[in-house]
């Protein structure tokens, strides 16, 4: 870290995530050191210190992003003074979320932190297949490729991408990450699919170590998850539920109604990577105020009850509007979701809830305008509002059907008990989800992103598996 006293104001601005006096600090420095030296000797070392503080648990993710905002603003101000070919980049990465996955947040956080640490990033966006990624590698010639996936299904697509790259003769080192990915999966499934190097990175700072030729710290073992309830050996017949109506209905909630349902512990620790406390509460209040300012304070959902019957041992046949829809529910661990429905006729509760296009537009605006911390906060709160909507719908269905307090389980397409993500299309059609602005993209995912769908299985023996 530079000992230049004139640099201390700029260093403090980065570490504090405060750009209020940035132009003044840069003007003071510009007369005493070249613009390139300001970048290499002040900004990048300050951002490296931010990374060290984050890894030690002394700086939380929203404050890392505030530091990145200051660095980005400083680089924009210095750009006219920087020599065209003088700035040395630490490396380069071609970054993409793989085909079938529309989740942006993890990939974009990697982009933000790498750029603010002196790396060149080519961000291809979401839903990228092997062909598109291989073509981009040939065009941009990156030092590394970064693949991101949030869904379990997307991690399987990573293997397809790597096989395609191998077939195209690409040998660029690949770094894989995402919420659904594990180091063990990378070692056993992804590395054998590719002839170049493949590594797992838990976050952007681990990726930087790999790109710099340093071994990334081993991720801490995941906390123990609650043991899965074992499915019963045989599902006993239960009387079919009697729904109060058939077909879809519209439901609405206000922001004020949903906020008490938001799990703050999950929001702070998992979504925002913050410790609960006054700072997290302040961020929550500010983010809620932003949603109110943008009139993102009303949320829509559709839910309904549909005639269904079990066919064979792994299918449900749904009847609605004179049309039959078949859902296949393969057996796992000796059980299928179809087991919980009567062959002679039953009722299937379905729902779709969304935070709406306004939330998606706000996130894009915040990211595009370099308000990285606000982008993270808005996305995290939006994800938990979507979960709160799902919880509210689940509770309404319990009340409609007269179920016990903890009776009924939610299952969504794309997860082990209901693996066919393409069934999102059937749910959207049955509920007429276009009424609330929800559609399905080419990868069979709901759009806008912060939307959720599920069936509620009301059988008293229903368990997750």
Highest mean pLDDT among 74-78, 102-106, 330-334, 374-378: 374-378
pLDDT at 85 over 70: no
Euclidean distance between CA atoms 324 and 199, whole angstroms: 46
pTM of the shown model: 0.89
- 230 occurs within a structural domain: no
pLDDT at 387: 97
- CATH code of the domain in which 406 resides: 3.40.109.40
- 224 occurs within a structural domain: no
- 332 occurs within a structural domain: yes
User: Looking at residues 154-176, what average pLDDT do you find?
Assistant: 95
190-204, 227-241, 280-294, 410-424: least confident range: 227-241
Residues 318 and 350 in one domain: yes
* pLDDT tens digits, 101-149: 888 898 999 999 999 999 999 999 998 999 999 999 999 999 999 999 8
| Full DSSP string of 189-238 | IIGGG-SS-EEE-SSHHHHHHHHTTPPPPPPPPPPPPPPPPPPPSSPPP-
pLDDT at 412 over 80: yes
pLDDT at 255 over 60: yes
- Kindly indicate the confidence band of residue 216, based on its pLDDT and cuts at 50, 70 and 90: low
Residue 305 near residue 347 (C-beta atoms within 8 A): yes
- 234 occurs within a structural domain: no
Residue 58: count other Cβ atoms within 10 Å of its Cβ.
10
- Kindly indicate the confidence band of residue 224, based on its pLDDT and cuts at 50, 70 and 90: very low
Per-residue b or e along 75-98, where b marks 16 or more CB atoms closer than 10 Å to that residue's CB: bebbeeeeeeeeeeeebbbbbbbb
* pLDDT tens digits, 314-337: 999 999 999 999 999 999 888 999
Residues 266 and 399 in one domain: yes
- 242 occurs within a structural domain: no
pLDDT at 7: 87
H helices within 330-434, ranges in order? 357-368, 372-401, 424-431
User: Looking at residues 251-262, what average pLDDT do you find?
Assistant: 97
Q: Give residues with Cβ within 8 angstroms of 284, minimum separation 6.
A: 264, 267, 381
pLDDT at 233: 54
Supply the range of the domain harboring residue 290: 247-457
Q: Which of 80, 105, 128 delimits the end of a domain?
A: 80
Residues 48 and 97 in one domain: no
Euclidean distance between CA atoms 330 and 318, whole angstroms: 17
User: Looking at residues 204-209, what average pLDDT do you find?
Assistant: 93
pLDDT at 221 over 80: no
Q: Specify whether the backbone of 415 is left (phi greater than 0), alpha (psi in -120 to 50) or beta.
A: beta
Residue 284: count other Cβ atoms within 10 Å of its Cβ.
20
Number of domains composing the chain: 3
Residues 179 and 326 in one domain: no
Instruction: Give rounded-to-5 percent helix, strand, coil for the chain.
Output: 45, 20, 35
- Kindly indicate the confidence band of residue 226, based on its pLDDT and cuts at 50, 70 and 90: very low
């Amino acid at each position: 870290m530079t000992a230049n006293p004139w640099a201390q104001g700029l260093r403090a601005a980065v570490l504090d995530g405060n750009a209020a006096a940035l132009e003044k600090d840069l003007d003071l420095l510009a007369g005493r050191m070249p613009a390139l030296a300001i970048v290499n000797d002040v900004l990048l070392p300050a951002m490296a210190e931010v990374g060290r503080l984050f890894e030690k648990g002394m700086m939380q993710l929203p404050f890392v992003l505030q530091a990145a905002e200051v660095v980005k603003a400083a680089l924009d101000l210095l750009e006219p003074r920087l020599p065209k070919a003088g700035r040395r980049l630490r490396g380069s990465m071609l970054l993409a979320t793989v085909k079938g996955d529309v989740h942006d947040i993890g990939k974009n956080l990697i982009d933000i932190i790498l750029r603010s640490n002196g790396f060149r990033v080519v961000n291809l966006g979401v839903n990228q297949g092997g062909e598109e990624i291989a073509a981009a590698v040939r065009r941009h010639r990156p030092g590394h490729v970064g693949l991101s996936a949030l869904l379990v299904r997307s991690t399987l697509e990573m293997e397809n991408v790597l096989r395609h790259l191998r077939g195209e003769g690409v040998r660029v080192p690949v770094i894989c990450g995402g919420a659904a990915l594990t180091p063990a999966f990378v070692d056993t499934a992804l590395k054998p699919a590719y002839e170049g190097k493949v590594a797992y990175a838990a976050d952007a700072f681990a990726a930087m170590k790999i790109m710099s030729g340093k071994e990334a710290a081993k991720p801490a073992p995941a906390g123990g998850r609650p043991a899965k309830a074992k499915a019963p050996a045989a599902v006993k017949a239960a009387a079919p539920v009697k729904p109060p109506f058939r077909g879809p209905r519209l439901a609405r909630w206000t922001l004020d109604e949903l906020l008490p349902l938001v799990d703050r512990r999950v929001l702070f620790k998992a979504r925002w990577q913050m410790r609960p406390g006054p700072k997290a509460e302040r961020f929550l209040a500010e983010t809620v105020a932003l949603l109110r300012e943008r009139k993102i304070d009303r949320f829509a959902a559709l839910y309904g009850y549909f005639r269904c019957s079990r066919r064979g041992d792994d299918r449900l046949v749904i009847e609605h509007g004179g049309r039959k829809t078949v859902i296949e529910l393969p057996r796992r661990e000796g059980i299928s979701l179809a087991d919980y429905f009567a062959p002679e006729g039953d009722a299937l509760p379905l729902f779709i809830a969304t935070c709406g296009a306004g939330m998606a537009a706000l996130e894009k605006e915040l990211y595009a305008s370099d308000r990285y911390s606000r982008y993270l906060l808005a996305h995290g709160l939006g994800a938990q509002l979507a979960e709160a909507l799902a919880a509210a719908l689940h509770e309404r269905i319990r009340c409609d059907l007269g179920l016990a307090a903890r009776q009924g389980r939610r299952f969504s397409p794309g997860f082990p008990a209901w693996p066919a993500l393409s069934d999102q299309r059937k749910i959207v059609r049955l509920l007429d989800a276009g009424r609330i602005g929800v559609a399905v993209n080419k990868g069979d995912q709901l759009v806008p992103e912060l939307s959720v769908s599920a069936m509620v299985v009301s059988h008293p023996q229903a368990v997750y598996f």
